Structures are given as structure tokens and as C-alpha cells.
Amino acid sequence: MKSDRNLKHTVWGVYDLYRNVKFNSEYYSLKLHRVELLNTILESIILITAPSSSVTGLWFWSNPIGSEIWKILGAVAAFSIIFKQAFQLSKKLKEYSNILVQYRTLDQDLFVLCELIKSKEKYTTKMKADYERALKKKAAIESNSPENKPSKKLKVKCQAEVNKKLPPQSFWVPLNEEN
């Protein structure tokens, strides 16, 4: 970071919020992807083993080894149905999708604000008001978080990604607090 930058300037609130929202976008994107993948796997198992599936009529299942494998697949399918219900994957998909859309919308709003600050080389009163609105939006989004216990490993991964995409030295900072 350049030594002539004012590290205590209030504009850092915007940049910190932007980086935090970007972090949450990354985090919930990965969470959604994982739940989608698990749901797809479970749905595929259930579909393949359904009595109406064309897979059930394959010749392989009529021999002793195939018959045993089919019994195992049937048990896996039964547990897949129970697992889907017990962990409410459909509900999680909806919740993660919803929160991700909200974070991505806020991410875009803050991207625009950061670009305006950089292009105008000012942090105006209107920009400060936009920042305050963004803070309130973030608080509203967080109040609806579907996470009970966030994944520490995933958080570290997302933070590294944000640090790579948005290093502090990439932001414009006025030398003083004046508009």
C-alpha cells in the first residue's frame, strides 16, 4: 500500500463493506453449489432405482451379483430419500439461492459505488449516503442468514479469494477527509 494514502479515511468503510459483501457472495455461492451437487447426486440415485426406471429392467440385475448390487442400491435410495428430507435440501437450496441473489445485488451496488469514487476521485456526501443504505441492506440480509454454524475452512478459502480479487492497494483513497 502506498504510504501517502490516508489509512484512517472514512472511504475505507465502503471498501471494507464491499470486500465483506464479496466474501459473503463467494461463501454462499460455494455453499449453494455444494448443496446443489449433493441434491443432484441423491436425486439421480432415487431416479435410477425407481421402479419405473428403465435401469430396473437391465439383464444384469437378474444374476446373483446383480441382484445383490440392486438390493444395495435400493437401500442407498431409501436412505437418500430420508437424508433429503432430514436435511431439508430443497429448503436449503431455496435459502442459499435467495441470500446469494441478495448479496450479489448488493455486491453490484457497492462495485458501482467504488468505481464512482475511483473515477471521480472524491468521496461525496451522496456517496456516503449510498454507503449507509448499503450497510442497512447488508444488515437486513444477514438477519435472514440460513447458516447456523459457518464452515471455517470455507471461510478461509473465500477470504483468500477476496484478497486476491480485491487487494487493499486496488482502491483509491483521498489524502485527506475533505470532499
- Using alpha carbons, list the distances in angstroms from residue 110 to 13, 20, 74, 149, 177: 11, 11, 50, 27, 20
Here the cell at position 121 is 476521485
Percent of the chain residues past pLDDT 70, beyond the cut? 90
Q: Predicted confidence band at 1 (pLDDT cuts at 50, 70, 90)?
A: very low
pLDDT of residue 48: 79
Element (H, E) at 30: helix 11-49
End-to-end CA distance of the chain: 22
Q: What is the mean pLDDT of residues 155-174?
A: 92
Here the cell at position 28 is 454462499
Q: Predicted confidence band at 164 (pLDDT cuts at 50, 70, 90)?
A: very high
pLDDT of 54 above 90: no
In angstroms, the CA 18 to CA 106 distance is 9
Q: Which of 16, 32, 22, 18 is nearest to 146 (CA)?
A: 32
pLDDT of 3 above 50: no
Counting Cβ atoms within 10 Å, is residue 113 exposed (0-12), middle (13-18) or buried (19+)? Answer: buried
pLDDT of residue 64: 87
pLDDT of 17 above 60: yes
Mean pLDDT of the chain: 89
